[in-house]
Structure 1
Amino acid sequence: MKRVGIITLYYKNYNYGGQLGAYALQKAIAKLGFHCEQITFKWLNEHTLQTYESAKGAEHFRIFSESIPHSKRLYTVSDIAECVDDYDSFVCGSDQIWGLPWVISDGVLPCMALSFVPASKTKIAYAASMGGAEIEPDRKSILAPHVNSLDFVSVREKSAIPFVSTMNNGVIAHVLDPVMLLDRSEWDEICAAPVEKAYILTYDLRDTGVQEYAEALSRKYGYEIITLAAAGAATVGPEEFVGYIKHAKYFITSAFHGAVFAILYKVPFLVFPVSDNPQDPKSMDSRLLALLDTFRLSSCYVYDTSNIPNIDEVTFHHIDESKTSAFRDSSLQFLKAALEF
């Protein structure tokens, strides 16, 4: 059985999207018939590491991350090449592995495009993201030679294809975020049951106006507000995160993976912008806009906080499940074909 090593934002990433994405990609590849694990790689800087480890929900995340198959050894930039003989193929992705300059240093960035893997091994980017549709020229110059050496490249945001095409001459595929490679029944397996009452759920990465709107909604319907995170400070574990979204009456967020799970569970939701200029191709909001556009849910995005869409008008009847299933199948087929190469 082929052995597959994944490099992504797994180690000490006490963030819902990061951990659930790492869980989903490992599980999806294992289901395709490969021995697969996360490579425990120190990708984050000391400041971010300390912030995560001191967070209120750190223990929940630590327990969950330990449940994901991973290498026993912790690697750093200086010794990551020593893992090469342990795997037949390598996958980098998903999440913002080619972005986050304030967390992923210039020295670490090449590793996120498998710079340490020799040409004799298959190198695959799955649903790689830069956060936005583009990155700054200095970061591109660091990343480009390594992206160019990848054998198979896919991105999470369709809007990123033109830019990534300038770094790799091959076909750049558009694939689903790993979270969506698993269906609802598979997420239900780890989904922790929340409180048994009607509630409005919020998950805000920054102070974007999410809470203010939720309070207005609460006054209108009399539902309690449950806050998963304020300014990114996680309060419950990944299993509870999935459960709370699944059972919410309404969900207000500014987070990409918050929107992903709302779409999976068809929970009425709105997305507030995290940047001042969402249309900027380098903006982190561009990934949200691309996601909503893929599922024809652009009306869920709050372009103007003085004119917020009516959340009661959010429906999912127009989403063609057969097309969603076909997108999942094509994404899995990309992975399978690349790993069997």
Structure 2
Amino acid sequence: MRKFFHSFTSLPLSPPFPLENPAGMDDYSLIIVGSDEVWNLRHPWYGGYPVFYGEGLRCRRLVSYAATFGSLTSSERLEGWAEKLRRFSHISVRDLHSERIIRETLGLEPELVLDPCLQFPQMLNASRDGREAASYIAVYGHSFPTWFQDAMRRWARDRGYPLVSIGYRNDWADEQWIDAGPEEFAGFISEAKAVVTNFFHGCVFSLINEKPFACVLSDYRSNKIRDLTQLVRAEHHVLTEDAIPSLDVILGNPLPTGISQRISSLRHRSSAYLSHALQ
């Protein structure tokens, strides 16, 4: 799989085309749609683009990899959209929520696979060269509930760790690093003592780097975070206000080995799906 991925990523990028006009793209024998919220009709920027449902794509075969409906609930109407997915020869999703939607609307059983960041960590994991983790707590996200902010501040203050917010301003943190780039972000999480977040990829990068993390659900991202943590058996890292007493357990200790074992198993399954779908 690693050989395939490195060969795949060494290929030149295809020419860009307007999302509103897929006819402007080149012809391809195979197109992979995904990952992330490509099927979320409520997405503020890309929701409702037919191209993500395969409409108008110039190719002989369509597959999806780690696609998700995001915050779209299964009760919302997909009439006119879901049927477009029948053109896909293979469908995989990255969360249980999207798996249920495909099953309920199309009567199909999609494959459940890992998000590419977890599937290919060698492309993202910043090496620490054997160094100890730095003495700061990474904060990634925004609009955290007040009870969560207060709990994080107390926990970090009692242990002498500064809270450093990256990518977004959080006035309750001790420091802000708003303009960090992708590589800086990867290194920052890699060096952190622990991570607090309400973002999906805050959880993902914690898992990649085997960092203790605490996350809280938000309305927009609840499906993604809940299903990810359930999938890798890290549900206890999702905090509610009643679970604050467990904070020291989840942030003050290494991740359980069962989580990395589960991720390894899911990587094998995701690789098998790709090998089959891309034949």
Give TM-score scaled by structure 2 length: 0.82
After superposition, the Cα gap between the structure-2 partners of 1:116 and 1:36, relative to the gap in structure 1 and judged at 3 Å, is: farther
Question: Tell me, which stretches of 5 or more residues in structure 2 are unaligned?
Answer: 171-176
* Residue type of the alignment partner of 1:112: F
> 1:286: Cα distance to partner?
1.8
> 1:337: Cα distance to partner?
1.2
Question: Tell me, which stretches of 5 or more residues in structure 1 are unaligned?
Answer: 1-26, 38-68, 276-282
After superposition, the Cα gap between the structure-2 partners of 1:199 and 1:189, relative to the gap in structure 1 and judged at 3 Å, is: closer
2:265 counterpart residue number: 326
After superposition, the Cα gap between the structure-2 partners of 1:28 and 1:166, relative to the gap in structure 1 and judged at 3 Å, is: farther
Give the distance between the partners of 2:37 and 2:51, measured in 1 at CA.
13
After superposition, the Cα gap between the structure-2 partners of 1:102 and 1:319, relative to the gap in structure 1 and judged at 3 Å, is: same
* 1:93 maps to 2:34: yes
Give the distance between the partners of 2:142 and 2:210, measured in 1 at CA.
21
2:16 touches 2:25 (CA, 8 Å); kept in 1?
A: no
Give the distance between the partners of 1:156 and 1:219, measured in 2 at CA.
36
1:203 counterpart residue number: 140
> What per-residue deviation string (whole Å, max 9, x for no partner) do you get for residues 55-94 of structure 1?
xxxxxxxxxxxxxx533x4322443123241x22101111
Give the distance between the partners of 1:190 and 1:147, measured in 2 at CA.
39
Give the distance between the partners of 2:211 and 2:80, measured in 1 at CA.
40
Look up the SS of the partner of 1:152 in the other structure: coil
After superposition, the Cα gap between the structure-2 partners of 1:269 and 1:92, relative to the gap in structure 1 and judged at 3 Å, is: same
> 1:131: Cα distance to partner?
1.1
2:22 touches 2:56 (CA, 8 Å); kept in 1?
A: yes
Match of 2:5 among 24, 31, 34: 31
* 1:180 maps to 2:124: no
> 1:338: Cα distance to partner?
0.9
Give the distance between the partners of 2:3 and 2:34, measured in 1 at CA.
12
* Residue type of the alignment partner of 2:67: A
> 1:226: Cα distance to partner?
1.0
2:45 counterpart residue number: 103
Give the distance between the partners of 1:92 and 1:231, measured in 2 at CA.
32
Q: How does 1:21-60 map to 2 (within 5 A)?
A: 31=5, 33-34=7-8
Bigger Cα displacement from structure 2, 226-235 vs 95-104: 226-235
Give the distance between the partners of 2:69 and 2:34, measured in 1 at CA.
11
Give the distance between the partners of 2:238 and 2:211, measured in 1 at CA.
14
1:129 touches 1:155 (CA, 8 Å); kept in 2?
A: yes
The sequence identity of aligned pairs, in percent, is: 22
* 1:271 maps to 2:215: yes
Question: What's the C-alpha RMSD, in Å, of the aligned pairs?
Answer: 3.1
1:81 counterpart residue number: 23
> 1:212: Cα distance to partner?
3.5
Q: How many residues align?
A: 267
2:231 counterpart residue number: 294
* Residue type of the alignment partner of 2:44: W
Give the distance between the partners of 1:159 and 1:229, measured in 2 at CA.
27
